[in-house]
Structure 1
Amino acid sequence: MMKSLILIAITIIAGAMAMSIKTDDDSCPFPSQLKPKYDFSWKSKSGEWQNLTATTAYMMLALSWSPTYCATLSQANRDKEFQCMPSNGFGLIVHGLWPQAAKAPNVRAHPRNCRDEAQLNATFVKRFFCIMPSEDLMQGEWEKHGTCYYNQPMDYYVITEKIYQALRIPTNNVMTSSSAVVIKDAFLTLNSPALFASAVQIDMSGSKLKEVKICYDLQFRYASCT
């Protein structure tokens, strides 16, 4: 009996070590004060566009590796980003949940910026801050992507949180691998047998992880990223 209990304990510990820890709503850092203004207007953003005619065929959950993102910023801008403060320890965060068109020839063929929406309130931002630790990002993703499939931001972020939390994430040691193959294999192994290779995309910036993208059909079952 004692041997069985020990084996169970070892199995639980090993499983915990195999994944990065995900925190709940009350256990991740939160800024003492949000920015007063973080509303998003695509018309004022260079390089933004609107696509109201594309049909959503599937969804893509984009996850951003914080160390690589933060390294792209100047020191001054990095110091302003709560996500990038070393003491906060953010790793893989949700970049967004993106409605995607089937067989799109380019990024502009996907749905985008379907409605202009009011600034999300601070209570809402705090509710989802652990998965997306930036009020600017949260507002922008809702307006750029969420509005093209959802009527309410709560619906968009609840499903985003749900599928993110259902995903088993490799350890940070795996995420710092210079090999996209190693990172992808780790996701496939941890999420076997449901997750399959064509439902996962790994984007690298040189030898560093940039983003992990997981695709779903409209019932949020894993689907090929096509």
Structure 2
Amino acid sequence: MCVYAAVSYKIADDSCPLPSSLKPKYDFSWRSKSGEWSNTQAKTSYMMLALSWSPSYCASLSQSARDQKFQCFPSNSFGLIVHGLWPQVSNAANVRAHPRNCRDEPQLNATFVKRYFCIMPDEDLVQGEWEKHGTCYYPAASDYYTIAEYLFKSLQIPEYSLLNTGSATIIKNAFLTLNVPTLFGSAVRVDMNSNGRLKEVKICYNLQYQFATCA
């Protein structure tokens, strides 16, 4: 019995909560980050749109960290947001085989960052994803975020309650049902956390932005 086909829920609407101001410094430097690396030689084969489930992300933080995250303020009620749009290499031997940190870019202006807060409600995330991933395929941040927003808003998203409580199989089937006939099973990955709650949904696309197998 399908309990998910009738209703869809999308957090990426034309309006959303916005902070009154952003913190003054949110530029990203991969060289100053532990565990970061650069791979400018890898050739992009396909794209992966990574969608993060805000309730699980926020629950993974300490109370003090949640109190500092606009995304996690209880009154804002963010659900599925864009984690990033990632250039990928087919059949990569490991995560370091994918393109990453291809250019150092200046801090994006606050007006631009707020423009995309409905899909990515954190200035550090907006800046970091552009520098870590976007620079490896796109000439400008506007190109990167225009495509990321378009892909996200083109998806039919299952209702909030299903994403919050459903199993990986139920969530994947919901995406497939709501996005027939074009979305297919190998183009979708659903990651759950150690508590059995949704962590991320990953959707793969070819370089023409049609659904593709996550290789």
Once the 2 structures are TM-superposed, how far is the Cα of residue 186 of structure 1 from its aligned partner? 0.1
Select which of 129, 135, 141 maps to 2:117: 129
Structure 2 unaligned spans of 5+: none
Q: Superposition pairs for residues 174-189 of structure 1, below 5 Å?
A: 174-189=162-177
Aligned residues: CA RMSD? 1.3
Larger Rg: 1
1:101 corresponds to which residue? Answer: 89
1:29 corresponds to which residue? Answer: 17
8 Å CA contact 1:100, 1:110 repeated in 2: yes
1:220 corresponds to which residue? Answer: 209
1:67 corresponds to which residue? Answer: 55
1:204 corresponds to which residue? Answer: 192
Counterpart-to-counterpart distance in 2, 1:178 and 1:169:
13
Counterpart-to-counterpart distance in 2, 1:105 and 1:23:
34
8 Å CA contact 1:61, 1:215 repeated in 2: yes
Letter in 2 for 1:208: R
8 Å CA contact 2:11, 2:81 repeated in 1: no
TM-score (norm 1): 0.91
Once the 2 structures are TM-superposed, how far is the Cα of residue 24 of structure 1 from its aligned partner? 3.5
Select which of 2, 13, 19 maps to 2:8: 19
Letter in 1 for 2:7: A
Letter in 2 for 1:53: Q
Q: Does 1:88 align with 2:84?
A: no
Structure 1 unaligned spans of 5+: 1-13
Counterpart-to-counterpart distance in 1, 2:101 and 2:138:
12
Counterpart-to-counterpart distance in 1, 2:109 and 2:82:
19
Counterpart-to-counterpart distance in 2, 1:186 and 1:151:
35
Counterpart-to-counterpart distance in 2, 1:93 and 1:178:
17
Select which of 146, 149, 171 maps to 1:161: 149
Once the 2 structures are TM-superposed, how far is the Cα of residue 177 of structure 1 from its aligned partner? 2.6
Bigger RCO of structures 1 and 2 (CA < 8 A, at least 6 apart): 2
Counterpart-to-counterpart distance in 1, 2:178 and 2:13:
21
Q: Would the alpha carbon gap of residues 67 and 106 (structure 1) be closer, same or farther in structure 2, given more than 3 Å must change?
A: same
Identity of aligned residues (%): 66
Q: Does 1:53 align with 2:41?
A: yes
1:8 corresponds to which residue? Answer: none
Report the count of equivalent residues: 211
Once the 2 structures are TM-superposed, how far is the Cα of residue 23 of structure 1 from its aligned partner? 4.4
TM-score (norm 2): 0.95
